Amino acid sequence: MTVEPARSQSSVPVVEPLYFARQLSDLDFNDRLLDLVADAGLPLLERVKFIILFSERIDEFFQVQVAGLRRQVTAGMKHPALNGSSPAELLEQVRASLERMVQRQEALLVYQLAPALAVEGVELCDWSDLDDADRAYLHDVFDRLILPVVTPLTVDPSHPFPYISNLSLNIGVEVHSPREEGPRFARVKIPPNVDRLLPLPGGDRFVPLEQIMVAYLDELFPGMEVGQPCVFRVTRDADLALDDDAADDLLLALQEELRRRRFLPVVRLEIDSRTSEGPVARLTEELGLGPDDVYRFAGPLGLDCLWAVYGLDRPELHDEPWTPLVPPAFTSVEREEDANIFEVLARQDVLVHHPYDSFSASVEELLNEAAEDPDVLAIKQCLYRTSGDSPIVAALVRAAERGKQVAALVEVTARFDEEANIGWARTLEEAGAHVIYGLMGLKTHAKTTLVVRQEGDAVRLYCHVGTGNYNPKTARMYEDLGILSSRPALGADVTRFFNYITGFSQPPQYRELVTSPGGIRDRVVELIDQEAGAGPDGRIVIKVNGLDDVAVMDALYRASQAGVPIDLVIRGICCLRPGVSGLSDTIRVRSIVGRFLEHSRILRFGGVAGRPAVHYIGSADLRRRNLDRRVEAMIPVADPEAVAQLDEILRINLADDVQSWSLSADGAWHRIPTVVGVATQRALEEAALERGDLLDGRRAMLT
């Protein structure tokens, strides 16, 4: 079955399918991570990091995407995916792709990473290879540290099959008492509060905790005959379902759903393929799984344990460290040429590019100064995700305690951060801040801050609109953009925006700000169609994390058929088919993956054949969920210096031949061969250093 977009042209060729399936495109990104694991040119411990990230992304994919497809199949839903597949067909395609990727992950770990680590003196030891001295040492560790912590549970008529928690690691085994006729099934949970990789004396040598427990399993069942053990791990559905009644008390409903999440169905059973499979039939029966839900892996299950290896103090095996720079516009504050950040923003807009520009010296500094400044009357902010020891939240708390009006929209339904966000919300409320727990039915994903400051007889509005979360930790690892400004028109728009989301009013009319639901899709399609009207003299360059919105993809197809050159830099999901004759000949799609997570959203239209360019940045990807089910904010960028910097970022992205993959018409991603040697993230580090040097040079000339 083919899903076709509504379009007016009758000459559009029939292509099956017009789009790629979102879930399969999402999985494709993981292959690019494995490409980096296999890249011997990268520092060894960075390759370890990429295999951990792959493992964690696969965990999340099962909890969300596979779980969602299973629910659709169970409910008998027939609505086709973007590639025309039914939910059952798509689930089969997803499982085949996952099986292939897991096999590739295993081969990379066992045959490439582990031997390469051993050459560098970092050994991932197997119990079977240990000598008597090592085993004696580990037996002592078992007696002192492990035996008092673990709790073996057996199943019998008075002891039902135990609850298996999400992503927990366990040992399943049959045990038999000489006084009883048949064996019983027993489960031992690997304690999550004990290091998964236990170090051995003498060098960087590690043994997985589960192997030690398997070796001494008989000591947990004294007097019993212990069968062959099976190390296993389960993954559960992690989606939350808040109904309309939750609007009466969103926080209470969410807390109840978080409790319910613990008992959602299991969607994957992982088995250590080197251990016994005797208990597998019992596990699949008890967990309600079929053979297709079982995945076997010859290595540690859940590779987050390898963070201990990645964290080793071996600088020669890591990327060269990068220290974010103070944005040139704000060095005058550090040098006390300006008394505060507000004096800088009163003169100019400032575009900040993280992690090349320091988050703490820009966005965080704005919040800190606003909290302390007696002339600041109010601070308003959207918080989607933040760090565990968030200085952003600390600044808002200080501001509230000093009597300033503080309003924080805390998105408590941000997936997997729900409990942390509830905690931040409580902290802010206790300090006297006004806390809004999101909008029912919508996630507030916008990255916006407003600071209201009394300056003489007037009030001045300072704002930040960005592409990334207010999280100082991820700001050092995620590539993001933000505009800091005191322009009256933008400040007025951001004020209306906060009044809308805190007062639950109707969406207002804005002069500059573009928001969703509704507005961002309409504006983007309008801008694409304008370029289509220019034909070959049009130009579109878009950098986002995902593209699956049919209306936007259809508009891009129309522009391509009009001859518009189109470049899309899409890190993750891309459901558009590029390079199809008569449909998307002029569309090129690339993905950039490196040490920093490409996260910014930049849209550029025009700028060739004497036509002015229009630039936007914002929080929204061009995905249906962002445009229909999330509150997002996007703004035009007009400041000449900021525009030049955005153009430089896009130029470097499109020139990259080190960190880039290209998407072909058949859906395959291919690594772009290195010819010139342009690596986006290294080039942007150099550009940031150059901007700082130029500013220092200009200052020296002036003095």
Contacts of 146 (CB under 8 A, 6+ apart): 191, 194, 209, 212, 213
CB atoms within 10 A of CB 518: 12
Length of the chain: 703
Answer yes or no: are the C-beta atoms of 233 and 170 closer than 8 Å: yes
Cα 253 from chain centroid (whole Å): 25
Answer yes or no: are the C-beta atoms of 653 and 569 closer than 8 Å: yes
**Is residue 540 within a helix (H) or strand (E), and if so which, with residue range?**
strand 540-544
CB atoms within 10 A of CB 261: 17
Contacts of 211 (CB under 8 A, 6+ apart): 126, 127
Residue 41, amino acid: G
Dihedral sign (CA 301, 304, 308, 312) = positive
Answer yes or no: are the C-beta atoms of 514 and 541 closer than 8 Å: no
CA distance 653 to 385: 27
Contacts of 207 (CB under 8 A, 6+ apart): 125, 126, 127, 130, 134, 138, 197, 198, 200
**Catalytic pick among 353, 445, 464, 599:** 445
Answer yes or no: are the C-beta atoms of 196 and 305 closer than 8 Å: yes
139 is catalytic: no
Please tell me what DSSP assigns to residue 613.
Answer: E
Report helix, strand or coil for 529: helix
Answer yes or no: are the C-beta atoms of 475 and 354 closer than 8 Å: yes
CA distance 224 to 117: 40
CA distance 375 to 402: 12
CB atoms within 10 A of CB 260: 11
User: Burial code of 230-255, b = ≥16 C-beta within 10 A, e = fewer?
Assistant: bbbbbbbbbebeeeeebeeebbebbe
Contacts of 428 (CB under 8 A, 6+ apart): 393, 396, 397, 400, 406, 408, 410, 435
**Is residue 554 within a helix (H) or strand (E), and if so which, with residue range?**
helix 550-561
**Is residue 189 within a helix (H) or strand (E), and if so which, with residue range?**
strand 184-189
Answer yes or no: are the C-beta atoms of 434 and 412 closer than 8 Å: no
Q: Smallest Cα–Cα separation from 437: which of 416, 421, 450, 448? A: 421
User: Burial code of 540-550, b = ≥16 C-beta within 10 A, e = fewer?
Assistant: bbbbbbbbbbb
Report helix, strand or coil for 549: coil
Residue 600, amino acid: S
Report helix, strand or coil for 657: coil
Q: Smallest Cα–Cα separation from 247: which of 60, 34, 436, 469? A: 436
Phi, psi of 394 (to 5 degrees): -60, -40
Strand locations in 363-404 (E) = 376-383
Calculate helix-pair angle for 87-108, 44-61, nearest 10 degrees: 160
CA distance 46 to 36: 9
Q: Tell me the catalytic residues.
A: 445
